[in-house]
Chains A and B, each alone.
Chain A
Amino acid sequence: MQPDRGGLTEADKKLAGGLTEAEAIAQAQTGNAEAFEALYNLHKRRVYSLCLRMTGNVTTAEDLTQEAFLQLFRKIGTFRGESAFSTWLHRMTVNVVLMQLRKKGLPVVSLEEPVDGDEDSPKRDVGGDDLRLSGAIDRVQLQRAIGALPPGYRTVFVLHDVEGLEHNEIAQQIGCSIGNSKSQLHKARMKLRELLKQRAGTAK
């Protein structure tokens, strides 16, 4: 059984009316509307946050959130508990988002190595006063910086660092190699560091 990476404790999984997640799933399988709503409320933030980070657009993210839950609820009758429900939902959400990105012709993963190999080299920082990101990273700034990433970098960064997927899982869902996933992640982090430092420098 896959571990639940939903970050939900057992207390969190107690839904409205004292139902557990397992009970809500069972009741949803009989068509109970309140059970569906309870499951939606339990997982909506994670699903929506994932859609928003990967698309950068509120309306698109809401549409994809709706689509992900609709696909899940259509198949809820087949859920047998072999894996965590949230893992199942998460995988479905990633698929929905990736299909949307592919439909729009956006690159899911950049397969080309960037020509500007020196851009990310630490050498550029030699002699600079602020070699380090000073202080705590402002979460709003980080969100904006993620939104400014190229789509391919953003996809891998969100799936790995925000959502906690392993490279083999990312590679399987996106259809790239593990090495490519690692490479994209590294470049995404380097780019984010650069963006955050630029914004910190502008703020000063």
Chain B
Amino acid sequence: MNDGNREIKGRESSMAAPSGPIGRYKCVADVMTRKTVTLSPHHGFAEAVSLMADRHFRHVVVVDTGGQILGVISDRDILRTLARTSNWQTKDVSQIMTRDPVTVKRETPLPVAVAKIVAKRINCLPVLDDEGKVCGILTSTDLLKAYQKLLESLDSNRATP
């Protein structure tokens, strides 16, 4: 786990305490996944592929040694590389990642985050703290969990008016 080694931390969702009358989540911090998986830019293509194939997640944040975000590598980037380049075996993470990804902050309202994900056709938003360091990740699955809770409470509202 020391310098430059692949750092894999468990994901720990933070959906414990619903806020509001029907369990509405209001901002990114209420639903984001706090522990994220990160890679360094020099990790190889194969490492990124095996990371995603073996685990359930589809997005890995690429950070420098100071924890500043450099990019995001998604399953989509891997597919694109695979389909368009013949020498994909020789690529490293920095060559296939998406640079300057769309990000949010902890206090970004959820509707804003949902709108970004839907409009930009992406599935993950890195969450940055005030110093620009990655403090979590918000994925479409995190949002789907929040929506599912909302749907259930709406269902029960309908059942017991």
Task: Indicate, yes or no, whether A interacts with B.
Answer: no
Residues in B lying within 8 Å of A, measured CB to CB: none
Residues in A lying within 8 Å of B, measured CB to CB: none
